[in-house]
Amino acid sequence: MTVKPITDPVIAIDVMGGDAGPADVLAAVDIAAERYPKARFRLHGREADIVAALGKLPRLRARAEIFHTDDVVLGTDKPSQALRRSRTSSMGMAIQSVKDGAAHAAVSAGNTGALMALSLFALRTMDGIDRPALAALLPTLKNDSVVLDLGANTECDTENLVQFAIMGAAFARTVLGLDRPRVALLNIGEEELKGTGEIKDAAGLLRGADLPMAFQGFVEGDKIGQGDVDVIVTDGFSGNIALKTAEGTGKLVTGLLAQAFRSSWLTQIGYFLSRGALRALRAHLDPNAHNGAVLLGLNGLVVKSHGSANIRGIANAIGVAHDLVVDQVGERIARDLANFRAHRPDIADAEAPL
């Protein structure tokens, strides 16, 4: 199978999702339109709001089509409530346009639970993938690392973890531009006897497999920030805990730092002299620079922008969608899965779809 790049991607945007509001979402789409001159956009949301914003964005207006709806999935809506509006809400319509083949990817900054439920319902999992995984980039001392699953699946079995590793490696090849990403399973020790049975079995399968990745075994939580591994694979519960603990600790340390600088006039001068470098530090850790979590393993791409992302952050999430479409990450995953199965007939027999 050859993977042909798609040169003119169409991206469906849920204009109403997230905290930013339609004007900022469309300003972000306009930045993406500038960056990707061949991309086109389907804008789902309130026509009046969209038309008003497009008045100031002629470049985007020329490459966008508007699909009106008044129905918006709220942050407080349960997945079951969102599922009932899969064809009427701006989020549901954006995903539906991927299903219908009218768009290559959908981007939304709305309710994560609703987005996962609507995406799974409309797009279904790829052949050979039992469950989708939410993947995103985390900052480290070196390059960014990919972490998945971040909360799509509370509990995972061995096969899920192996599939996540394959999907995460394909994602890293596109988004981090690596030929052979280093992949490890998140565990509570690096020794082979540590961890759950699922993790140990997944390590055994990945260790022997011929895949376009350098499998490194286990990695512990304290190594996530070091950047010595490119893809960190875990179940959605632990991944979510790790991601949010990292966020919280980052805030804790920068909060304590702000207290420290405020503590005397001497430290305030110290802050003043160092502020350029401190701003660079903040920029390195800024979630907007790493925005765009991807739901991998479905028949179609869905990218989740952080609900509180700013214009630049939303533009970055659209960029992630664009790059994954152009690189045909779904095709890559399908090819890697097929190779993996072909070389492990025990698994192929037991797990092949009937």
Give the binding-site size for its own copies (rule: CB under 8 A). Answer: 62
The residue from 51, 52, 245, 352 that contacts its own copies (CB under 8 A) is 245
Question: Which distant-in-sequence residues (6+ apart) come within 8 Å of 2 by Cβ?
Answer: none
Applying CB under 8 A, among 193, 349, 350, 354 the residue interacting with its own copies is 193
Which of 11, 31, 118, 246: binder of its own copies (CB under 8 A)?
246
- What is the pattern of x (binds its own copies, CB under 8 A) and - over residues 319-338? --------------------
Instruction: Work out which of 253, 342, 343, 352 binds its own copies, going by CB under 8 A.
Output: 253
Position 74 contacts its own copies (CB under 8 A)? no
Q: Which of 270, 308, 342, 343 binds its own copies (CB under 8 A)?
A: 270
Q: What gap in Å lies between CA 160 and CA 342, rounded to an integer?
A: 18
What are the strands of the beta sheet with 145-148, ordered from one edge?
Answer: 64-68, 40-45, 10-14, 105-108, 301-304, 293-296, 133-138, 145-148, 231-233, 182-186, 214-219
Q: Which of 27, 114, 170, 242 binds its own copies (CB under 8 A)?
A: 242
Query: With binding defined as CB under 8 A, does residue 233 bind its own copies?
Result: no
Residue 273 engages its own copies in binding (rule: CB under 8 A): yes
CB 153 within 8 A of CB 301: no
| Separation CA 199–CA 192 (nearest Å) | 10
Is residue 135 involved in binding its own copies (CB under 8 A)? no
Are 125 and 296 in contact by the 8 Å Cβ rule? The answer is no
Among 84, 127, 267, 343, binds its own copies (CB under 8 A): 267
Query: Dihedral sign, CA of 347, 339, 354, 133?
Result: positive
DSSP per position, 218-256: EE-GGGGGGT--SEEE--HHHHHHHHHHHHHHHHHHHHH
Residue of the chain from 40, 47, 261, 307 that contacts its own copies (CB under 8 A): 261
Q: Which H or E run contains 341? A: helix 329-342
Unique residue bearing structure tokens 């779809």: 353
- Rounded Cα distance between 102 and 124, Å, is 17
Among 59-67, 158-166, 210-218, 278-286, which window interacts with its own copies (CB under 8 A)?
278-286
Read off the tokens for 348: 């192929």
Task: Kindly tell me which of 212 and 225 has the beta carbon lying closer to its own copies.
Answer: 225
349 belongs to the binding site for its own copies (CB under 8 A): no
Please identify which residue in 252, 308, 343, 345 interacts with its own copies, judged by CB under 8 A: 252
Which residues of this chain interact with its own copies, rule CB under 8 A? 78, 139-141, 151, 154-155, 186, 188, 193, 195-196, 220-226, 234, 236-238, 240-257, 259-261, 263-264, 266-267, 269-278, 280-281, 284-285
